[in-house]
Amino acid sequence: MNDTAYALSSSRTLWDLAADRAGRTPDRPVLLQGDRTLTFGELRDRAERVAAGLYGMGVRPGTVVAWQLPTRIETAVLSFALARLGAVQSPVIPFYRDREVGFALRESKAEYFAVPGEWRGFDHTAMARRLGAKGVFEAYDELPDGDPSALPAPPSDGTAVRWIYWTSGTTSDPKGVLHTDRSLLAGGSCLAHALRPTSADVGSIAFPYAHIGGPDYMVMLLLYGFPAVMFEQFALPDALEGYRRHGVTMAGGSTAFYSMFLTEQRKQPDQKVIPSLRLLAGGGAPKPPEVYHAVVREMGVQLTHGYGMTEVPMITMGAPDDTVENLATTEGRPPEGMEIRIVGGEVRLRGEAVCRGYLDPAQTAEAFDAEGFLRTGDLGRLTDSGHLVLTGRLKDVIIRKGENVSAKEIEDLLHRHPGVGDVAVIGLPDAGRGELVCAVVEQPEGAEPLSLGAVTAYLRAEGLSTHKLPERLEVVDALPRNETLRKVLKYKLRERFSGQSGTVNHSGTVK
């Protein structure tokens, strides 16, 4: 039986998977953080004691428990304790503040709220009180504790909704995404099947554990019985000591993470930045082909990139033995059981890893078509080999004088320019053209200043059609990003530069 079938058979739950792994390899480590190690057996045993403590507080199967906690061993233990009880979990990214947190608490009707107290200079307990949250308790160093003999039987239905994840809010409120143990197991087992880890590997969790990638990654660890290093705060070069110390073999997170590792590698080109590393892997945002080639060429490791979203944690993934062309230019292939349909250029999905919908029934009705396929809002195409190529977002199609312009096409070309560290191409309102094409560039340190003329000349030489050439260039110190997978927030760029004219100087001040 393959790993996907193993994880999904008989409506298995996340707790079933954790208990099974603990029974098979109880003394093998699962989580590493600083000087601390948690084994698979300890994860099971501690989670049961915490579950008993929560049960003593009044948490029951089906009780909604929100938690806003950093990436720590205690966070994973608490989450598995809630899975043992069969509670409904609502993870909240720890960087969110009053507006997003208040919305999540109200919409989920959370009866309990776990917070870290004061963390990174912000008092989460005070915010929780300010928002009128129910059942507030701190869960950083100390977790509830009790006698597991008082617990009811573990949950037995893997298809019940037990997770409420939140999409990143931009100009509107976030959406509450409904997941089951089964959908999360499907995502994690398919990730594992694509990356093909072994028990000798050491992974890394450098993104917020409250992100949908948290259980995705944990399922992979439970299936293959290998550990991961947790980073409560990811920043390079400081985090490199942890990667080196624990001999991490698989790292990543998103395209921005790849670029950060490359920056560190370029400081000492003749020495591997992480000697044990064999694979970078991630998703969250499209990967420019040049980033793939630079990682392989300069870091001497393989790079496999995938495609996922809060609604579907695992859609496609590159495999280590894919061709160079497919690894560089596609998002990989879908796993068995994931159906991809392209309708009017839009990617639509149906399969085990797809969420059950949203908290708001109206949003659910709008998101799924008549045949049960999820509308992703992403544009793409399937190759003859079944690999998915993403070509942009529906909202990222710039319509200039009635002609469609793909922002991603221009971004991929500009990523090859030595004077471009990162770039976002956006459409800005224009009375005469409908929209104009604007390239917003973040330059690497020491690069020669860019001009609009130099950019358009470069793109012409690369073969870009004249009607797609940027008519405006903005150079900024840093592109705005979110705090999860460091995606560029294009809506902030549109807000900043709409209604302005001219370009920016190299200190980031609008002229």
The CATH code of the domain that includes 143 is 3.40.50.980
Distance between CA atoms of residues 90 and 456, nearest Å? 47
Q: Which amino acid is at 66?
A: A
Q: Residue 168's pLDDT is what? A: 67
Say yes or no to pLDDT of 511 above 70: no
Give the side-chain half-sphere CA count within 13 A for 117: 6
Domain assignment present for 408: yes
Q: Hey, CA dihedral for 338, 342, 343, 346, is it positive or negative? A: positive
User: 317-339: per-residue pLDDT in tens?
Assistant: 998 889 999 999 999 999 988 99
Domain assignment present for 112: yes
* pTM for the structure as a whole: 0.84
Distance between CA atoms of residues 483 and 52, nearest Å? 33
The per-residue DSSP string of 64-105 comes to: EEEE---S-HHHHHHHHHHHHHTPEEEE--TT--HHHHHHHH
Contact 20, 185 (CB under 8 A): no
Say yes or no to pLDDT of 137 above 60: yes
DSSP H helices, 266-323, are 289-294
Domain assignment present for 347: no
Q: Whose structure tokens read 């084994």?
A: 39
Distance between CA atoms of residues 402 and 431, nearest Å? 13
Q: Which amino acid is at 75?
A: T
Residue 399 has which token pair? 């319509």
Instruction: Return the closest-CA partner of residue 262 out of 297, 215, 227, 229.
Output: 297
Distance between CA atoms of residues 118 and 128, nearest Å? 11
Q: Classify 359 as helix, strand or coil.
A: coil
Q: How many domains does the chain have?
A: 2
Instruction: Identify the domain boundary among 152, 180, 208.
Output: 180
Say yes or no to pLDDT of 432 above 80: no
Domain assignment present for 474: yes
**Containing H/E element for 397?**
strand 397-400
Q: Residue 2's pLDDT is what? A: 46
Contact 439, 479 (CB under 8 A): no
39 phi and psi, to 5 degrees? -90, 170
Q: Residue 491's pLDDT is what? A: 84
Cα–Cα distance list, 191 to 115, 200, 216, 376, 473 (Å): 29, 17, 8, 19, 38
Q: Which residues pair with 118 in a beta bridge?
A: 123
- State mean pLDDT over 465-487: 87
Instruction: Using pLDDT thresholds of 50, 70 and 90, give the confidence band for residue 256.
Output: confident
- State mean pLDDT over 194-201: 93
Better-predicted residue by pLDDT, 174 or 304 = 304
Q: Residue 398's pLDDT is what? A: 86
Q: Hey, CA dihedral for 309, 310, 316, 320, is it positive or negative? A: positive
Burial 3-16 (b: 16+ CB within 10 A, else e): bbeebbeebbbbbb
Q: Classify 511 as helix, strand or coil.
A: coil
Portion of the chain with pLDDT greater than 90, in percent = 75
CA 269-487-467 angle, to 5 degrees, is 95
User: How does the average pLDDT of the chain come out, rounded?
Assistant: 91
**Containing H/E element for 309?**
strand 302-309
Per mean pLDDT, which range of 131-145, 170-184, 213-227, 417-431 is the poorest? 170-184
Domain assignment present for 296: no
Q: Which domain holds residue 45?
A: 14-27+39-180
Respond yes or no on whether the N-terminal peptide bond of residue 26 is cis (omega within 30° of 0). no
Distance between CA atoms of residues 31 and 21, nearest Å? 14
Task: Residue 406: give its domain's CATH number.
Answer: 3.30.300.30
Domain assignment present for 219: no
376 phi and psi, to 5 degrees? -85, -25
Instruction: Identify the domain boundary among 124, 148, 180.
Output: 180
Per DSSP, the chain holds a count of helices (H) and strands (E) of 16, 26
Instruction: Return the closest-CA partner of residue 503 out of 478, 479, 474.
Output: 474
Instruction: Identify the domain boundary among 180, 201, 222.
Output: 180
Burial class of residue 37 in the structure, from the number of CB atoms within 10 Å of its CB (0-12 exposed, 13-18 middle, 19+ buried): middle
**Containing H/E element for 45?**
helix 40-57
Strands 312-317 and 302-309, by their bridges, are antiparallel
Distance between CA atoms of residues 163 and 216, nearest Å? 13
User: 220-246: per-residue pLDDT in tens?
Assistant: 999 999 999 999 989 999 999 999 999
Q: What is the CA radius of gyration of the chain?
A: 23
If you ran DSSP here, which 8-state letter would residue 232 be given? Answer: S
Cα–Cα distance list, 309 to 1, 106, 137, 138, 191 (Å): 27, 23, 30, 29, 13
Domain assignment present for 205: no
Domain assignment present for 339: no
Residue 186 has which token pair? 């499907």
277 phi and psi, to 5 degrees? -70, 135
Instruction: Using pLDDT thresholds of 50, 70 and 90, give the confidence band for residue 172.
Output: low
Q: Which residues pair with 229 in a beta bridge?
A: 32, 204
Q: Measured between alpha carbons, how far apart are the two ends of the chain, in Å?
A: 63
